[in-house]
Amino acid sequence: MSRYRDFMDDDTQGATSAKRRERIVATLDGMVESGRLTPDEADRLRAAAEPGEFDTALRSVRVRHAGATLDAAIEDGNLSHEDADAILDRLRKGEHSRAIRAHLRSLLAGGRSRRGARRAIAEDGSDSPA
């Protein structure tokens, strides 16, 4: 699982480097097998020819993952809808700072288990761009 963490934790405020894209693409099959990505998301990342297109696809995955975590936190009473919307808006704009990642991890730790959130992510399976 740790080899997949870099993929989800990297900042995307700037364009992802070619080397980084290659490393991410190399892990896609494993991420689909583990349920971290849908086959459609993996295909979209593989097909992204331009850096901006790749970053948009990556951002979409991050927003979906965060959405599942935030929905669980709202359901558990650990976060308001307004706060969740603010976090999602920041992610949709391309921000994926350490502070946001830490906050999302704390919500996972404080509410639903990682496995439960991953199950919710896998069940959602949507690929709706932000």
- What pLDDT score was predicted for residue 2? 36
Structural domain includes residue 130: no
Total domain count, the chain: 1
Structural domain includes residue 113: yes
Please check whether residue 107 is in contact with residue 69, taking contact to mean a CB–CB distance below 8 angstroms. Answer: yes
Structural domain includes residue 129: no
| CA distance linking residue 100 with residue 125, whole number of Å | 22
Full domain range(s) for residue 71:
2-124
The band of 114, judged by pLDDT with boundaries at 50, 70 and 90, is very low
Structural domain includes residue 101: yes
> What does the pLDDT average to over 7-33?
78
pLDDT 10s digits, 35-53: 989 999 999 999 998 889 9
Q: Is the pLDDT of residue 30 over 80?
A: yes
